[in-house]
Amino acid sequence: MAESDTITRNAKSNLAFTLMDLPEEKRRHMAQFYAFCRIVDDIVDEPGMEPQERHTALDRWVDIISLRCKADDGIESEVQNLVSDLQLDIAPMLELIDGCRGDIDPQQPKTRGEMLAYAYKVAACVGITSATVMGASPAAKNYAIALGYALQMVNILRDVAEDCRKYNRFYLPSDDMELFGVTRDDIRNQRYNYRMRQLLAYEAALAEKFFGEAEEHYQTLSVEDRNALIPAQAMSLIYHTILNKMQTDEYRVFERRYSVNNFRKLWFLLRARLGTVNMPSFPSVAEWGFFRKDDEDEK
């Protein structure tokens, strides 16, 4: 078994689950790309490394995907072959590495613009390359970006306690926290109260906005592109369900980690394959005038 397959299987992630829908060659390519993303993320997160060691390891991956060095056998060689065989634009992959590098010495974003700049690197850029590897045309880029933002926002909300406890990271903007009277100590001490719920609901509304935007982009794509992006649409269903669970449960993120079981994941993958992915709970982007000023400020 290829090293990328082993990494993907062991990760047991939502994305890895959805890849079963792909034809064999595309599934192999996506496993290689996923393994690259997993390794880069683990370089930053796994214990036992000094900051400079982490930077050096990331520098090595910059050289690998830039084809500036000879890859070792195994995953390094697989990723280099992926880049060469598909003639990938490596700019999004380099952005991902840069985004992960920022987590070595994490700085809390002050504004939503800063939070979304980080989300672009670690999630939207993953979406851009994934869409290409899955076989979608460049027309899918805006869909991939919007969905990347949506998925990352769900991750930020779901993992707010874990990110603080394990890594001392705070991804919610300090401006937003100040707006609702929430402090870092509130998160550290897991103070679940009205102010915390309002803050998390405020960020969840932004996630909803991006889910809606992604769905609108998806509906404009060709049949060929929509077929290629079935795993991505399944991911959208899975993560939107996680978001709905948090909303219904009033964001008890300090008490539990929200997830979707494998049976429901399989159902969502089937729904995506059948084309019944129109999700009426997604608001139209036009309804979200609330966010227009933020969007204009970020341009």
- All CATH 1.10.600.10 domain ranges in the chain, comma separated: 106-299
| Options 2.60.120.10, 1.10.600.10, 3.40.50.1100, 1.10.1740.110; CATH of 106-299 | 1.10.600.10
Q: What distance in Å separates the CA atoms of residue 30 and residue 93, rounded to the nearest whole number?
A: 14
286 or 105, greater pLDDT: 105
> Average pLDDT of 21-32?
91
Evaluate if residue 290 carries a pLDDT over 60. Answer: no
Looking at the chain, the whole-number percentage of residues with pLDDT higher than 90 is 79
CA atoms within 13 A on the CB side of 266: 3
162-166, 181-185, 294-298: which has the minimum mean pLDDT?
294-298
Measured CA angle at 45 (ends 109, 54), to 5 deg: 95
Predicted local distance difference test score (pLDDT) of residue 5: 78
- Tens-place pLDDT, residues 208-247: 999 999 999 999 999 999 999 999 999 999 999 999 999 9
Write down the mean pLDDT value for the chain.
90
